[in-house]
Amino acid sequence: MKVAREEGQGSNLVESGSHQGVEKNEIKKVGHPPAEIQTPLGTFLCLDGNSYFEPPKMLLDDFLIESSINDLAGPRKSGKGWIALCASKQIIEEQRGNVIYLDRENGKRRMDQRISSLRTDPLAWRRSFRYGFNPPMTDKRESVELFEKSLDQLKPSLVVVDSWAGFLNCAGLDENISDDVTTWSELYLTPLRNREITTLILDHVPHKEKRPRGSARKGETVDTLFYLTKKADFDRTVVGEINLELLASRDGLLPKNTRYRVGGENGRFVFQKLNQKVYGLSGKKAEIVKVLEEVGDKGMTNSEWQKACEQKKLSKSTFQNYVNQLKNHEFQGQKLLKREGNKYHLNTLGEETAD
């Protein structure tokens, strides 16, 4: 290992041996692994704004980033458990690793019925899927040690926690108390993060609110926060539609909204990402509508919409040329836009339309 002395510093820094002999200017040009310094607390990195790190990788496109902690929040019967199983199925079928499903919501019989509905490969699932119903994950150190040993034995790529409230309760903790959420996260999410295991936590929401139920500490603990909305009902025999909305993300790599077809069709359960919606539009008209779509339920005034389009390199004249046509545009038998007060929204659920 090469020992380097930073300019103006008296400390010795241990630099990665793979870059021995590389000129300083060349390192700055291509980026380099950060230098390291050993302290009593462990290894510290010497970041200089020119360090090279591998970019985050996707475990599931437009949904799960590898090694991330994710909160999937949604109303009752919005399909959170189905999404988790469909994600598990894709990981198993693509041979991307093992899945652990920790459950305090459904029970063994219902879970087995759902897996059967997915028309899975039984051999692949026996090899890669591990289901734990009501495991003893308390706030005691011995429980945490058993949890860590199980992770080391099963080596999962994904761990599903169903649900956050259920496992907090199992540990005698309260989701409304921030210190309790922090305690549970330190006990059980930290081992997952340290092992770089992707984690999907299913979470409940307050009535008519778009946020996880309980303490705001939940959102501060995770890397990514999603909100799930059921746009059209589905079950084992009927295909419906859901929307996965990104509420918060540390990485900024995921789309704001992703829609899926989900449900039973021709004897199989489908979970299929829809193409980005253009509502029968193309070109600049489609781009203008997508600007409005990105803000979700908030909507926009005419001037806000125009300014947002200008930020997307759509000129003022382009917006003005097309916006009146869009206000009269119909899609699937109804007007595309609706107006509430002075704000415009996308009208995708058959609600009252714009004048």
Beta carbons of 225 and 240 less than 8 angstroms apart: no
Ranges 16-30, 206-220, 278-292: which has the least confidence: 16-30
SS3 of 241, please?
Answer: strand
Q: Does pLDDT of 349 surpass 70?
A: no
Mean pLDDT taken over the chain: 85
Q: Does pLDDT of 130 surpass 80?
A: yes
**Residue 348 confidence (pLDDT):** 59
Does residue 261 come out as left (phi exceeding 0), alpha (psi in the -120 to 50 range) or beta? beta
Q: At how many degrees (to 10) do helices 283-294 and 316-327 cross?
A: 80
Mean pLDDT of 85-109: 95
**Residue 275 confidence (pLDDT):** 62
**Residue 19 confidence (pLDDT):** 36
Q: Does pLDDT of 306 surpass 70?
A: yes
Q: Does pLDDT of 250 surpass 50?
A: yes
**Residue 14 confidence (pLDDT):** 35
Sorting pLDDT into bands at 50, 70 and 90, what band is 148?
Answer: very high
Closest C-alpha to 185, from 132, 145, 222: 222
Q: Give the percent of the chain with pLDDT over 90.
A: 56
Which of 27-41, 234-248, 341-355 ranks highest by mean pLDDT? Answer: 234-248
Sorting pLDDT into bands at 50, 70 and 90, what band is 129?
Answer: very high
Q: Does pLDDT of 276 surpass 70?
A: no
**331 — phi, psi (to 5°)?**
-140, 125
**Residue 273 confidence (pLDDT):** 82
pTM above 0.75, yes or no: no
More confident residue, 192 or 268: 192
Mean pLDDT of 150-166: 97
Q: Does pLDDT of 264 surpass 80?
A: yes
| 163 preceded by a cis bond (ω within 30 of 0) | yes
Tell how strand 224-232 and strand 239-249 pair up: antiparallel
CB atoms within 10 A of CB 4: 14
**58-273 has which fold?**
Rossmann fold (3.40.50)
Closest C-alpha to 184, from 163, 200, 167, 199: 167
Q: Does pLDDT of 321 surpass 80?
A: yes
Sorting pLDDT into bands at 50, 70 and 90, what band is 253?
Answer: confident
**Cα 34 from Cα 24, distance rounded (Å):** 13
Beta carbons of 202 and 161 less than 8 angstroms apart: yes
Q: Does pLDDT of 64 surpass 80?
A: yes
**Residue 335 confidence (pLDDT):** 87
Closest C-alpha to 198, from 15, 95, 71, 82: 71
Mean pLDDT of 294-306: 89
